[in-house]
Amino acid sequence: MKRLSSTAGSLAASLFVAAAAKADVTISTHATSHMSCVGIVCTPTAAKAVLNVGQLQTMLASGNVTVKATAAAPNIRIAAPLSWSSLNNLGLDAYDGVYVTRPVSITSGGGLVIVTNDGGSHSASFVISAAGNVHFWDLNGALSINGHNYALVNDITTLAASISMASSGNFALAADYNAGPDGEYALSPIPAFSGHFEGLGHTISNVTIRGANKAMGLFLDNSGEIENFNIRSMNIHSTGSRGSAGGIAAINDGTLRNVHVLSGKISATATDALGGGLAGLNNGLITASSSNNLPQNGTGCIGGLVGRNTGTIDDAWAAGKAFAKQAGGIACANSGTITNVYSLVFVGGRFATPYPGGLVGDGQAGGSIQTSYAAGQITAASNFGGVAGSNASSMSNVYWDIDYTGASPTFGCGSGNCTGATGLTHEEMLAALPTGFDPSVWAQNPDINGGWPYLIDNPPR
């Protein structure tokens, strides 16, 4: 399988900046143009406006500043490193969305106030790209997003203790955190959560969880919202029964948005175990997210993103490996909705049955898969499917790479109905977007993602 080079990854990140940047108020190193700053409020006077980052920093040294977008210039994009050391607040008031594509550093007790969809489409949000983050050096700093105040934390222990006292609260990760010195956790370090966790583009690394007869993930059970967050080197070793294991959450009943597991290994060895790079069991929504994890299992049900999906997975991708009794590139079993996803996962089935599949191991009745493709190698003791091991789900505009998956044109599904799935040669996959793929959602570039289609708003990392 072709692998994404670091150069291609940087290019993809740049394309994300451009894609997100329908943002028409841009904070950058260019000279200020088409902006009017009166008092403490700066507003655009044209459809494309620029506020010089140095000018903004000078203003923040003297007092609070609000950058307010309009219907003509609806989005705000931070496209240059921004920092200030005063106690003053920066307000970003967007008609539609706020996009942070470069680091923001608040070095003292200053604050950030973000408002999205202030009169706009009510579909845009606060998005932080792979090259961006918001770093609070002082935990006494203030963060407000859409009228909700957030408590700032900078380690797992504090976050877990805070959630134990207020499971529906709002919390934000102020900086990257290395969990290696914490040692091994015997169970999910963060308890059941129903609030809002804002990762601010930061990464928690070197988390190790090892135990038996427990559901395991960084979060035990999420029924709230977790967004703009990364995990690097997530290692989960779950043994015994009830072994659901996921990099972000053992069980997701809420929303995972713009979350990415960048590396690691997940092992859930019970026969009834569910394992996935992001969640063992997904009953909620996973969107704009990815897993480059290495889930492995000898006897259970493993997927590149989730073990079992009964909810919705949209605008997502997975790479890495999934070896199990039953395995799928995105989900081991699916009775929910999967749309606009792709898998580059090396999928392997350890036994003659059930069959592994490029996207799902078991596509169940009531489920659906749309505008998605599989291009990772698949191996099995007997049979396998380019998109599904067995399938009773509905499918439309679903594809697999015949040459890279190893599944012939007649083996889109190992068993069951495969109407709506089509095998393409590698040359055909790289020649143009497959039929049905929306060019406002998908793009292709020979230097990105090995030439395979990629998601504009969720490029390879």
- Of the candidates 209, 214, 150, 203, the residue with the CA atom closest to the CA atom of residue 183: 209
Share of residues in the chain with pLDDT > 70 (%): 92
Q: What six digits make up the tokens of 114? A: 């973000």
> Which strands sit side by side in the sheet containing 279-282, from one edge to the other?
219-222, 249-252, 279-282, 306-309, 331-334, 360-363, 388-391, 413-416
**pLDDT at 5 (0 to 100):** 36
Helix (H) or strand (E) holding 191: none
Task: Tell me the CA distances in angstroms from 451 to 35, 289, 435, 446, 454, one per residue in order.
Answer: 40, 20, 16, 4, 8
Which of 36-40, 238-242, 337-341 is least confident?
Answer: 238-242
Indicate the CATH number for domain 181-455: 2.160.20.110
Task: Tell me the CA distances in angstroms from 125 to 98, 144, 374, one per residue in order.
Answer: 6, 14, 29
CA 23 to chain centre: 21
**pLDDT at 42 (0 to 100):** 98
**Within 10 Å of residue 47's Cβ, how many Cβ atoms?**
12
β-partners of residue 209 are: 185, 236
Question: Is the pLDDT reported for residue 17 higher than 50?
Answer: no
Mean pLDDT confidence for 299-326: 93
**pLDDT at 239 (0 to 100):** 78
Mean pLDDT, the chain, rounded, equals 91
Domains of the chain by residue range: 6-145, 181-455
Question: Is the pLDDT reported for residue 22 higher than 80?
Answer: no
| pLDDT tens digits for range 218-263 | 999 999 999 999 999 999 988 776 678 999 999 999 999 999 999 9
